[in-house]
Structure 1
Amino acid sequence: MKNTILIGACLLFAQQLVKAQSSSYKPVEGKIMTEWAAQVTPENVHREYPRPQMTRENWVNLNGLWNYAIRSKGQAVPTSYDGEILVPFAVESALSGVGKTVGKDNELWYNTTFSTPKKSRNDKVILHFGASDWETEVFVNGQSVGKHKGGYDPFDFDITDHLKSGKSQSLQVRVWDPSDEGPQPRGKQVNNPHGIWYTPVTGIWQTVWLETVPEVYISGLRNASDIKSKRILVTPEVAGIVDGQQVKVSAWKDGNMIAEQTVNPAEMAKLTIKDAELWAPGNPVLYDLKVELLDGKKVVDAVGSYAALREISMAADENGIQRMMLNGEFLFQYGPLDQGWFPDGLYTAPSHEALVFDIQKTQDMGFNMIRKHVKVEPATWYHACDKMGMLVWQDMPSGDMGNGWEMKVGVLGNQSDRDRTPESEAIFREEWKEVMDDFYNFPSIVVWVPFNEAWGQFKTKEITEWTMTHDPSRLVNSASGGNFEMEGTKITGDIIDLHNYPDAKMPDPEIFGKDNILVLGEYGGLGLPVDGHVWQQKDNWGYQSFKNQDELYARYAGLIEHLGKLVEAGLSAAIYTQTTDVEVETNGLMTYDRKVIKFDVSKMKSLHSPLYNK
C-alpha cells in the first residue's frame, strides 16, 4: 500500500511539474494570430516525424521549452540564461514566447537537457536539426560537436563520442545571424521590415531530434523514376559499410510487395512496377519503399521511404512553341506565389495542420502548382504536396542584394550580374547544392529557380548550367522575372519568365517561343485589407487595392479571362501573387491569420478549371 501511495504521489508531482512548465509558457501578445496558435503547447509542438523520405522508428523529438540567452558575439557558453524559448519557433516570433531581435552584433544561445538514448554498445546517436538560421554551433556536455552554415537545409552531427555516463545529457546551441547585413541567403528577411521585406528569423526554426542507428547504417537514399521503362530507381548510401553487405530494396502498394531487388551499397536498384500509374495532380500515386541493409540473412538496418513515377520535360507543340510537359503531355501549371510566412510563427507554421492548410486551400481553389518563393519548407510540407498531387516550383532563397533590375521593352529584365565576394559565392553555391540534394526525392518538385528578379544574382550562366547538370531530371528557371543570359533568342536554362503587375502578360512567343518555355512568373497582387486581420492598422498595401470581395473577384475574373487567351497563344505556366497576406502586404488569397478567405473557393475552382483544357 505504501508503494502504491508513493507511486501515486510521484505521478501527481510529475503531472503538476508538466502543468507548471506549460503554464510558464505563453505567446508574445500584440500581433494577429492564426487559429492554431491557441493549441500550441510545449508538449505538443510539432511532434510529427520530420523526415518522411527516410523513416525510422527509433527517434526522439527534442522540441519544447529550452533556455535561451542573447549575448554579445564571441562570448563563451553562458552560465545563466534570460528565460525560456519554445523550440522550434524563431526568437523573433510570437510563438517562441520571446519576441526579441538579435542582430549581427549578438548571438542567440540555447540550453536544454535530454535523456540518454537507449542503445546497444556499438550504436550511434545522431542529432538532427531541420533548419537553423544561420551559423549554428552545437555543444554536447560542453564540447563542440560541429558547426553548420545555412538557414534552409537540414543538418546533423554524430554525437555518440560526446555522450557521458548517466541518465541525462546537456545540449547548448549557439546561433549567429546577420540577417540583411550579411551575404548569406536570407530570402525576405530584413532588420527594418517594410513593404515586401519582413521580420528577421534567427535561430532554430524546424524540429530538433535524435536518432539511434547501428554502427553500419543506411545514411541516405536517392529516389528517382523512369516512366518509359516503368521503373523506380533507388540508390542507397551506407555509412561504415562492411565487405559483403548488401541492400534489399522493395516497392509496396496497399500493403502488398510489388517489386524487389538486392544490390550492393551505392548501386542503383531498378524496380519494375507492374501496372504502374504515373503521379500527377488529380492522381498522386505514391509507392512505398522498404530499404534493408543485409549482412547475409541478418537485417542490420532498415528504413522506410516512398517514390513516384513522374517526368517533367519540354517539347514543342503543333505551332513549334516549347511547352512544359508532365509525363509527356502538356499541362498548364497555375498556382500562387507562396511565401510560407505566419504572423505567429514567422517561418514556422504553428502546427502541421496549419502547414498543410495553405496547400489544401490552394488546391480547393483549383490551383495545381505552388511556387515556393525564396524560402525552403520543412520536408513534411513537400511530403504533403506529394500526397495531395500539388506541383512545386522551388526557389533558392536570395541574399547579398545590391544589384537592381529594370524592364527592357516590356519583356526582359536587364541588369548586369552582381559582383559577389568569393566568400559570398561559396556560401550560395554550398547551400543551393544542399537544398537540391536534400529535397531531390520529392516528386512534387518539378522546377528549380536559382534566382529571382536579380536579387543577388551572379554568374547566371554558370550557376544555371551547374543546376541543370546537377539535376537533369527537372526544369530550371534561371532568373524568374528577368535578367537573363541569352545567346540569340535562347535563354540560359529552360524557361523565360516575365513578371508583370497586375495584368497577365507573356514573353513574345514569336521571338522566344521556339527555344524557351514561356512563363508568367508573377502577376496579380490584387489587395484587400480586412479589418481585424491585418499585421498593422495603417500603411498596408497591394499592387492594386479594392474595397470589398465583390470588386476583388470581378477584377480577378477579368485577369483569368485574359490569362486563358495567353495559354492558347503559348503560355505554359503562371503564378499569381499570392497565397496569403504577409505582414503589410494585403494581396493574399487569404488574410495573414488564415481566418478570412477573400475569394469564394468553389467559384475560384470553376474559374480556373478551363485553363487546364486549353
Structure 2
Amino acid sequence: MKIKGIVFFFLITLSISHAQSVSISNIYNREYTSLNGQWNYIVDPYENGFYNYRYEPFENQEIPERSAFFTNSKPTSKSDLIEYDFDKMDSITVPSDWNTQKEKLYYYEGSVWYKKSFDYTKKEHSNRVFIYFEASNYKTDVYLNGKKIGQHLGGFTPFNFEVTHLLKEKENFLITKVDNKREKDAVPTLNTDWWNYGGITRDVKIIETSETFISDYFIHLDKENSKKITGYLSLNGTHIIGQEVTVEIPALKIKKRFKTDANGKINIDITASKIKLWSTKNPQVYKVIFTTATDTTTDEIGFRTIATKGADILLNGKKIFLKGISIHEESPITGGRGNSLADSKQLLEWAQELGCNYVRLAHYPHNEHMLRLADKMGILVWEENPVYWTISWDNESTYDNAKNQLSEVIQRDKNRASVIIWSMANETPTTDARNTFLTRLAKYTKEQDPTRLISAALEQSNYEGNPLVRTIHDPFAEVVDILSFNQYIGWYDGTIEKCQTISWNIQYNKPVLISEFGAGAKFGLHGPKEERWNEEYQEYLYEETLKMIDKIDQLSGFSPWILVDFRSPRRLLPEIQDEYNRKGLISEKGEKKKAFYTLQKYYNNKN
C-alpha cells in the first residue's frame, strides 16, 4: 500500500566505510511504502548466522553457505540440514526496541536478525528505489534478497541504500542484523547513563524516485540581510546539467527559476521583502515548492536568524533568554524508546506547559517528529552528537564515526528553523587529544552549516583554587559560540545550602547556558526538604539553584536535568530508583513533581 509521508527526512547512502554517496532531502510530502509492522526475528548472541565455526564471515565467501541467516535458506529435501527458519520464528514490531517488547531481551546486548518479506512494483521502469531506515541501534548490516547492500554505525541517525537493481516484483526478503553491543571505540562509548535500547527503533520505508531527482537543499535567511533568502539545491542522476529548477513560495508571491551548473547544483538568491520571521511567539512557516522536469518536493520552512553578541543570544536580532529543559527520547506512552508523533507531541506539550521556549535534546539526535513539531510550536532546539563522557579520542575511526553521525543529523535537520545549536559533546574530560577531536568536529560543523551556533556541555571547576568561586577552565570554551556547562551543586557537590555560598567568575564574554542541574526525587515520596529523594528536596534544590545562577552575569538560559524520569542501568537503589534516573520533573507515568511548578513559576515570571 502506498501512503503519503508525514515526516520529513533525508536519505543518506553509506557504503561499508560509511561514505556518503547520495541523499534525498525532505520526503515529507513524497510517497513511500512502509515496511513497519511485524518482522520475524532470531536472537543470535554467538553470531552463528554471520560467522562460520572458524569465525570467518559468511559474506566474504564467493557463494555464502546456506547457514548464513541472510540467505534465508530453506531445506530442499528431507535430509537437508538448515538450522534456522525465519518464517517459523516469533515476530517483533518495527519500529520499537526489543528490550521492552520481549521480557527475555530486557537486558540483552548483542545481535538480533530481522526479516521482512514484501512485494513491490515500480511506477516507472526507469525509477530508482531506496530502502530507508530512520534509525537502528547500533551497528546494522542490511541484506536484500541475500545480497549485502550496506552497513551503518550509529543508533540515532537515518541511513539508506539504493536497491534498484536487486528489487523484484514478488517475494523480496529484507534481512538486517542489528547489534547493540557497547564498544570502547564506538560513539557513544561503553559507559552511558541511559538505557541501551536495541533494535530497529524508527520507521523503515521504501522510497521511489525518478531517475534524476532533487537530492539535497538548504534554504535560509542571509546572515547579513533578513530580507534575502539564500542557499543551494542539488540534483542526483544522469541528467543533472543545465536543468531548470523552480523555487516557489506562494504566500510571498515568489517564483524564481534557476539552471543547474556542471555539478547539478543551483545557488539560491531570492529577495523576500515581505517575509515574516519565524520566532517562538510567532512560529511562521512557509510552504516552499522545488520543481524540476522530473521531480517536485514541498517543504514547510521557517526563516529566522540566530547569532550572539557579547553575552547575548539574538533571535532575529533581538535578545532572547532560553527557558529550557533537557529531554531523553523515551516514550511517555509505551515506556520504551520513543519514536512516534504522539510521543514527541506529549513531550513538547509538557515542555510548553512548563513555560519553556527551548529544549535540549540529549544526548543524541532524537526522531524527526521532535524537530518538525518544534518548528510548528515555536520551540528552540539544541541537538547533540552522542560524544559522551570518555570517547577514544586518539582513534581516527572513532572520530570518523562521530563526524559521520554529526553529518547525518545536520543533513536531516538543517532546514528546521527550530534548531539553533549543534552540540559537539557532553561532559568530556579536558585533554589535548579531546580538544583536538572536538575542535575538528566544530570546524567541520561550521563548514557544513555556518548559520547556527556551536556549543557543548562542559564542566565547571574552582576559580584559582577557591572552591567557593566557580568558573569554566576549558580550552574548548574558546571554540564554542555559547558557553554551556553542567553543574550539580546540592546533589553530587555538597548539600543544597552550598548554593548560598557559591559565586561565579566566568572570564568569557559569551552567552552562558547551564546545560544541566537537578536532583533526584521519587514522585509521591514526601518528607523534610533536607532529606534526599523526596519531592521537597528536589523542590528546595531548584529554589536555591535558581537564586544562585541568576547571579551569573552572562546567563542567557538553562535546561535543567530533566523533563521525565528515564531508564538507566546505573540507577539501582531499590524502592527509589529501580533502574530509573529520578531527576525528572515528571515521573515515567506522567505525574508532575513539586519542582515542576517551581520552575514553571520562574519561567512564567521571566521575560
TM-score by length of 2: 0.77
Per the alignment, do residues 502 and 581 of structure 1 end up closer, same or farther by CA in structure 2, a change over 3 Å counting? farther
Find the aligned partners of 1:553 and 1:507 in 2 and give their Cα distance.
Answer: 19
**Which residue matches 2:114?**
110
**Which residue matches 1:184?**
186
**Which residue matches 1:131?**
135
**Which residue matches 1:88?**
95
Q: Any idea what the Cα deviations from partners look like across 1:518-540, whole Å, max 9, x if unmatched?
A: 22221123523347xxxxxxxxx
Spell out the pairing of 1:195-210 with structure 2 (5 A cutoff).
Answer: 197-210=193-206
Q: Any idea what the Cα deviations from partners look like across 1:428-452, whole Å, max 9, x if unmatched?
A: 2222222222222211111111111
Residue among 31, 37, 40 paired with 1:67 = 40
Find the aligned partners of 1:391 and 1:176 in 2 and give their Cα distance.
Answer: 33
Q: Do residues 609 (structure 1) and 604 (structure 2) align?
A: yes
User: What displacement does 1:284 show?
Assistant: 0.7
User: What displacement does 1:397 show?
Assistant: 0.8
**Which residue matches 2:285?**
286
8 Å CA contact 1:201, 1:346 repeated in 2: no
Q: Any idea what the Cα deviations from partners look like across 1:25-58, whole Å, max 9, x if unmatched?
A: xxxxxxxxxxxxxxxxxx9xx9844539443442
**Which residue matches 1:556?**
542
Q: Do residues 51 (structure 1) and 50 (structure 2) align?
A: no
User: What displacement does 1:426 show?
Assistant: 2.1
SS in structure 1 opposite 2:130?
strand
User: What displacement does 1:601 show?
Assistant: 7.2
Q: Any idea what the Cα deviations from partners look like across 1:120-173, whole Å, max 9, x if unmatched?
A: 110111111001112212111222222222222211111110012x43321111
Per the alignment, do residues 340 and 421 of structure 1 end up closer, same or farther by CA in structure 2, a change over 3 Å counting? same
User: What displacement does 1:467 show?
Assistant: 2.9
Q: Do residues 152 (structure 1) and 156 (structure 2) align?
A: yes
Spell out the pairing of 1:344-355 with structure 2 (5 A cutoff).
Answer: 348-349=337-338, 351-355=340-344
Identity of aligned pairs, percent? 21
User: What displacement does 1:208 show?
Assistant: 0.2
The one-letter code of the counterpart of 1:493 is V
Find the aligned partners of 2:409 and 2:501 in 1 and give their Cα distance.
Answer: 29
Find the aligned partners of 2:561 and 2:126 in 1 and give their Cα distance.
Answer: 52
**Which residue matches 2:227?**
230
SS in structure 2 opposite 1:462?
helix
Q: Do residues 524 (structure 1) and 518 (structure 2) align?
A: yes
User: What displacement does 1:309 show?
Assistant: 1.6
**Which residue matches 2:559?**
575
User: What displacement does 1:598 show?
Assistant: 2.1
Find the aligned partners of 1:419 and 1:58 in 2 and give their Cα distance.
Answer: 42
Find the aligned partners of 1:458 and 1:134 in 2 and give their Cα distance.
Answer: 26
**Which residue matches 2:214?**
218
User: What displacement does 1:360 show?
Assistant: 1.1
**Which residue matches 2:400?**
426
User: What displacement does 1:604 show?
Assistant: 5.1
**Which residue matches 2:57?**
none
Per the alignment, do residues 577 and 133 of structure 1 end up closer, same or farther by CA in structure 2, a change over 3 Å counting? same
Find the aligned partners of 1:344 and 1:362 in 2 and give their Cα distance.
Answer: 16
Q: Do residues 436 (structure 1) and 410 (structure 2) align?
A: yes
Deviates more, 1:342-351 or 1:229-238: 342-351
SS in structure 2 opposite 1:446?
strand
8 Å CA contact 1:557, 1:607 repeated in 2: no
Find the aligned partners of 1:353 and 1:524 in 2 and give their Cα distance.
Answer: 27
Find the aligned partners of 2:307 and 2:178 in 1 and give their Cα distance.
Answer: 41
8 Å CA contact 2:457, 2:515 repeated in 1: no
User: What displacement does 1:303 show?
Assistant: 0.7
Q: Do residues 248 (structure 1) and 246 (structure 2) align?
A: yes
The one-letter code of the counterpart of 1:173 is T
8 Å CA contact 1:151, 1:186 repeated in 2: no
**Which residue matches 2:144?**
140
Structure 2: unaligned runs, 5 residues or longer: 11-25, 52-67, 73-83, 462-471, 491-498, 568-579
SS in structure 1 opposite 2:265?
coil
User: What displacement does 1:398 show?
Assistant: 2.6
SS in structure 2 opposite 1:527?
coil
The one-letter code of the counterpart of 1:130 is E
8 Å CA contact 1:509, 1:518 repeated in 2: no
Per the alignment, do residues 545 and 367 of structure 1 end up closer, same or farther by CA in structure 2, a change over 3 Å counting? farther
Q: Do residues 461 (structure 1) and 455 (structure 2) align?
A: no
**Which residue matches 1:498?**
485
8 Å CA contact 1:67, 1:85 repeated in 2: yes
User: What displacement does 1:99 show?
Assistant: 3.6
User: What displacement does 1:107 show?
Assistant: 2.0
Per the alignment, do residues 396 and 116 of structure 1 end up closer, same or farther by CA in structure 2, a change over 3 Å counting? same
User: What displacement does 1:199 show?
Assistant: 2.6
Deviates more, 1:449-458 or 1:419-428: 449-458
Deviates more, 1:455-464 or 1:358-367: 455-464
Find the aligned partners of 1:282 and 1:436 in 2 and give their Cα distance.
Answer: 25
SS in structure 2 opposite 1:204?
coil
Per the alignment, do residues 163 and 176 of structure 1 end up closer, same or farther by CA in structure 2, a change over 3 Å counting? same
Find the aligned partners of 1:370 and 1:64 in 2 and give their Cα distance.
Answer: 31
Q: Any idea what the Cα deviations from partners look like across 1:550-582, whole Å, max 9, x if unmatched?
A: 67546534543454444xx32112121111011
Aligned residues: 515
Per the alignment, do residues 524 and 543 of structure 1 end up closer, same or farther by CA in structure 2, a change over 3 Å counting? farther
Q: Do residues 451 (structure 1) and 425 (structure 2) align?
A: yes
8 Å CA contact 2:96, 2:337 repeated in 1: yes
8 Å CA contact 1:251, 1:258 repeated in 2: yes
Find the aligned partners of 2:501 and 2:458 in 1 and give their Cα distance.
Answer: 13
Find the aligned partners of 1:292 and 1:155 in 2 and give their Cα distance.
Answer: 24
8 Å CA contact 2:222, 2:230 repeated in 1: yes
User: What displacement does 1:241 show?
Assistant: 4.4
User: What displacement does 1:402 show?
Assistant: 4.2
Find the aligned partners of 1:280 and 1:509 in 2 and give their Cα distance.
Answer: 31
The one-letter code of the counterpart of 1:88 is P
8 Å CA contact 1:497, 1:518 repeated in 2: yes
